[in-house]
């Protein structure tokens, strides 16, 4: 649907080409199938139209008289799901948002609702574009704090709970953070490109707003980097704990081997087919048993004294 800047809805069957190509500022929220129907009135060139219909990569392109933005937006409730795609076509008096399904994209409906209720001050197309990017990062600081708390709880459970497959949880967390890292990097690049304002579609005041937005996105990106480092530290701590556990097991096996090695020597000694004086001694067999027990006991005392186990 195409809206006048004051919130009035323009119906497709009542639209005249000069109503959009003239001097009336208009905002459009279209899905990709609707874009094809509206394009004769929008005069988007074929290459950009094809880019809008695909919308598979994040990019910013500044052409003669218009800007084109493509953005992949992850679902923060499930970062491993496929990111949704939205394209933006911006020129004088025309701002069009093209997404996969306008019914599912509540962010755009929220902006249109605020326009209709006249909640946005100093309303203009550039202000609407800024509000869109501003809402993309609204509440993200709190969201990152939630992720940090998840990592902290994961770290604590490594040492307090008997649980397997921690490595899978750590890898999953790293993948989620990687999705956010790429997302904030693309937002940062787009916001910086908007600041350059090659087509002079933004006023100096809005350029300052986008500069503030760029700084905010940069801080969020830095936070993601810190969280990725934190996860790496947790993984190293977990690997260290696994190594220590394995070393304890190997140490135990070594101690057991060391205890039974003298006994093996004694058994081998008396297993030789040679006549020995002890064979004719009535207490020879008990003496060997006592000797083996003494050797084992002395070995255990020695290892215990030196804290080998």
- Residues 98-117: pLDDT tens digits? 887 655 567 777 887 777 77
Residue 21, pLDDT score? 66
Instruction: Quote the crossing angle between the two packed helices 140-160 and 166-196, to the nearest 10°.
Output: 160
Maximum Cα–Cα distance across the chain: 123
Q: How large is the average pLDDT for residues 142-167?
A: 82
| pLDDT value of residue 48 | 82
What's the rounded mean pLDDT across residues 276-283? 66
244 or 93, higher pLDDT: 93
pLDDT at 172 over 70: yes
pLDDT above 80 (res 275): no
Instruction: Look at residue 59 in the predicted model and tell me its pLDDT.
Output: 85
Please state, rounded to an integer, the average pLDDT across all residues of the chain.
Answer: 81
pLDDT value of position 17? 63
Contact between 60 and 68 (Cβ < 8 Å): yes
pLDDT at 299 over 60: yes
Give the mean pLDDT of 287-301. 78
Query: Tell me, what's the pLDDT at 185?
Result: 92
Average pLDDT (233-259) is 76
- Report pLDDT digits (tens) over 197-225: 888 888 898 999 999 999 999 999 999 99
Answer whether residue 276 shows pLDDT above 70: no
**How many Å apart are CA 120 and CA 131, to the nearest integer?**
9
Domains and CATH numbers, the chain: 1-121 (3.30.460.20), 250-305 (1.20.58.340)
Burial class (CB in 10 A: 0-12, 13-18, 19+), 180: buried
CB 112 within 8 A of CB 124: no
Angle at 64 between CA 58 and CA 69, to 5 degrees: 15
CA distance 183 to 190: 11
> How confident is the model over 53-70, as a mean pLDDT?
83
| Helix pair angle (140-160, 204-270), 10° resolution | 10
Predicted confidence (pLDDT) per residue in 4-57, tens digit: 777 676 766 666 666 666 677 888 888 888 888 788 777 788 888 888 877 777
pLDDT band at 181 (very low <50, low <70, confident <90, very high): very high
> Picking from 25-29, 127-131, 163-167, 205-209, which range would have the lowest pLDDT averaged per residue?
163-167
């Amino acid at each position: 649907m195409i809206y006048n800047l004051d919130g009035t809805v323009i119906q497709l069957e009542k639209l005249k080409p000069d109503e959009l190509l003239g001097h009336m500022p208009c905002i459009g929220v279209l899905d990709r199938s609707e874009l094809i129907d509206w394009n004769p009135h929008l005069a988007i060139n074929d290459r950009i139209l094809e880019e809008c219909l695909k919308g598979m990569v994040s990019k910013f392109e500044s052409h003669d008289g218009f800007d084109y933005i493509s953005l992949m937006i992850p679902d923060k409730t499930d970062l491993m799901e496929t990111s949704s795609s939205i394209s933006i076509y911006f020129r004088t008096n025309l701002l069009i948002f093209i997404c996969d399904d306008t019914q599912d994209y509540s962010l755009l409906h929220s902006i249109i609702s605020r326009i209709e209720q006249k909640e946005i001050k100093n309303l203009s197309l550039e202000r609407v574009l800024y509000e869109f990017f501003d809402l993309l990062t609204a509440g993200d600081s709190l969201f990152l704090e939630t992720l940090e708390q998840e990592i902290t709880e994961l770290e604590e459970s490594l040492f307090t709970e008997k649980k397997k497959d921690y490595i899978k949880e750590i890898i999953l967390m790293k993948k989620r953070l990687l999705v956010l890292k790429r997302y904030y990097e693309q937002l940062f690049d787009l916001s910086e490109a908007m600041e350059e304002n090659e087509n002079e579609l933004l006023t100096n005041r809005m350029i300052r707003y986008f500069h503030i937005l760029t700084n905010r996105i940069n801080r969020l990106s830095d936070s993601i980097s810190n969280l990725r480092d934190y996860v790496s530290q947790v993984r190293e701590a977990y690997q260290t704990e696994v190594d220590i556990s394995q070393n304890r097991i190997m140490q135990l096996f070594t101690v057991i081997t060391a205890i039974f090695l003298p006994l093996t020597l004694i058994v081998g000694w008396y297993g030789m087919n040679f006549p020995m004086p002890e064979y004719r001694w009535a207490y020879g067999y008990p003496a060997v048993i006592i000797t083996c027990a003494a050797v084992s006991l002395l070995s255990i005392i020695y290892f215990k004294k030196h804290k080998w186990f």
